[in-house]
A and B are shown apart, each in its own frame.
Chain A
Amino acid sequence: MKSKIALAFDNCKKEKRPALITYTVAGDNTKNNSLKILNKISKHADILELGFAHNTPIADGGQIQGSSHRALKNGIKLKDVFQIVKKFKKNNLKKPIILMGYFNLIFQNGENNFLKNCKSSGVDGLIIVDLPYPENKSFANKCKKKSINFIQLLSPTTSKERMKKIIKDSHDMVYYISMLSTTGGKLKVSPKKILENYNFIKRINPKKNYVIGFGITDKTISSLKSADGLVVGSLLCKTITNSLKMRQNPVTMLDKVVYNLKKKII
């Protein structure tokens, strides 16, 4: 049976557009609001990434650090994250959800226990920032056995040899980090160059779905739309920060921003 993630990509290919993948942090700015946000933006987004906050997020820039900080201040725990997914899935069974975070939370929760919770709440995939290949092999296999996508990361510094191995061991989706940066950096490489790298990777195994992330905003998204999927995160976290500053409702603000992103890639 095809995974919901693979089906989402199939669907976008039929519509001749990239998948829009959003990233928000569970519990930002409140547990309730983050669920409302998912419900709203799922009308425009094809795949939803949901961050589980860690207080030492070494791969994240200021925007996502800020969101994580707000979520942790609200007392967000893993069990709340699973609750949010479960509630979301009640009304949106087909929409794929990917949890994204750092390995220590999984390690303390227990790998098997964590995957059990993923399964029962309806999580479709995982991105674990600080669990690189090949150290992630055993955990990625466990995910596969449970039909949960383990999403591998590639970057501009990944050698071709290494890329081949990583892609061979990947599941339905592979994440290409557009440039040397943390999340939230300004796009410092031209879209042309990014797509050059992207196409090179795509040729290694054209059957996989490759998404590009890091530095993608409403200004840059349309120039990359030939990719299988595009991930937008920091812009959304920043939108929440700004709406709180201006005392606006972050749910409606995010809805607008994601709608606008979608318009730019169809």
Chain B
Amino acid sequence: MLEGPVFDRLWGIPGAGYAGKMLSMAAKKFGLKCKIFMGAKDIKRQRPNVEAMRKNGAEIVPVTTGSQTLVDAVSECMRYWVSNCDTTHMCVGSTVGPNIFIKICAWSTAQISRELMKQVKEEFGKVPDKLKLINCVGGGSSAAGFWNEFLNTRAQFIGVEAGGPKKSKLHAAPLTNGSKIGILHGAAQYVIQDKEGQIGSTESISAGLDYPGISPLHCFLKDAKRARYTSASDEEALYAYQLVSKLENISPSLEPSHAFAEAIKLAPKLKSSEVIIVNSCGDSLKDKDIIKQKLGSYIR
């Protein structure tokens, strides 16, 4: 029996729309109302995911303040949630926001590494001595999930942030570029900001990585030197997307293409006994409009 307020709504925030897509499926399954907050710019550039969410019956709320991307969507979703927390749960699509939301998200994504651990043991009989796990990081949920089971092994973790366009000063890589600690969305973290403490603007070809902050989990992993962080530019990610799509039987979205870009840089320097695993955490279909615009065509 339920006592107290009845929660009949889920509200969430995805960057690229994956978390929103999953949330809309969950809402449909359990008969809950679902609202997804998305930056107006991201709604345009991630159309396929937006259509999928609508099909599942979710209402998409375009956020038109600020840069019209993830950072503004998170702010707006938090505003709605404090106004409606008696009937509504907030689901944050990455390991960002106040403490508990980070834990819920990281706990959920950790399933990836439980499966990975099983596969690694099947393939190598044990965790290889020289293993690199490469993952893109926006807010950091997918990387946190990819690495979790390997924390107590000797596996190396490499997080790849969005370096933005090659010749631009804008980026979304606070760990790589030495941003200072600040407070954003209820958590202290390394965050792109000016001297006064105003949050800085970001730019990335990848909607899912286009966020000025980064999960406190990753700030800790960086400070503890347990993980290493670097960035890939828009151009490097696009190139990696093309190369991987041509050579492999997968077609990564622009987020994991950042991780593949780092793998492409690293691989020639390694011995054949070393193992690299890249998390191809998204499919390029959602990025078809951006890819078509940048490369002239999109073939899947």
Contacts and interface: CB of A to CB of B under 8 A. Distances in A.
Contact of B183 (A78, A104, A181): A104
A64 to B, nearest CB: 11
A55 B183 contact: no
B196 interface: yes
Nearest to A155: B82
B270 to A, nearest CB: 41
Nearest to B87: A180
B66 A55 contact: yes
Interface stretch (B71-79, B122-130, B144-152, B163-171): B71-79
Interface in A56-87: 56-61, 65, 72, 77-78
B85 A109 contact: no
Interface string A85-123: 000000000000000001111111100000000000000
B185 interface: yes
Interface residues of A, number: 26
B75 A104 contact: no
B298 to A, nearest CB: 34
Q: How large is the interface on B (under 10, 10 to 19, 20 to 34, 35 or more residues)?
A: 20 to 34
A117 to B, nearest CB: 13
Secondary structure at the A interface, as helix, strand, loop or mixed, is loop
Contact of B185 (A58, A65, A78, A185): A58
Given A104-B197, A182-B82, A58 B186 contact: yes
Interface centre among B181, B182, B195, B197 (most CB of A within 10 A): B197
B83 A56 contact: no
B83 A181 contact: yes
A238 interface: no
A130 interface: yes
A108 B182 contact: yes
Contacts of A104: 182-184, 193, 197, 199
A12 to B, nearest CB: 30
A54 interface: yes
Interface in A155-204: 157, 180-182, 185
A130 B197 contact: no
B83 A54 contact: no
B196 A56 contact: no
A54 to B, nearest CB: 7
Nearest to B85: A180
Contacts of B86: 157, 180
Contacts of A60: 79
B196 A78 contact: yes
A202 to B, nearest CB: 23
Contacts of B193: 104, 108
28 contacts: A54-B198, A55-B199, A56-B71, A56-B184, A56-B199, A57-B75, A58-B75, A58-B79, A77-B196, A78-B196, A104-B183, A104-B197, A104-B199, A105-B197, A106-B197, A107-B181, A107-B183, A108-B193, A108-B195, A108-B196, A130-B183, A130-B186, A157-B86, A180-B82, A180-B84, A180-B86, A181-B82, A182-B82
Give me the 3 closest cross-chain CB pairs, A-B, nearest first.
A108-B197, A104-B197, A105-B197
Interface of A: 54-61, 65, 72, 77-78, 102-109, 130, 157, 180-182, 185
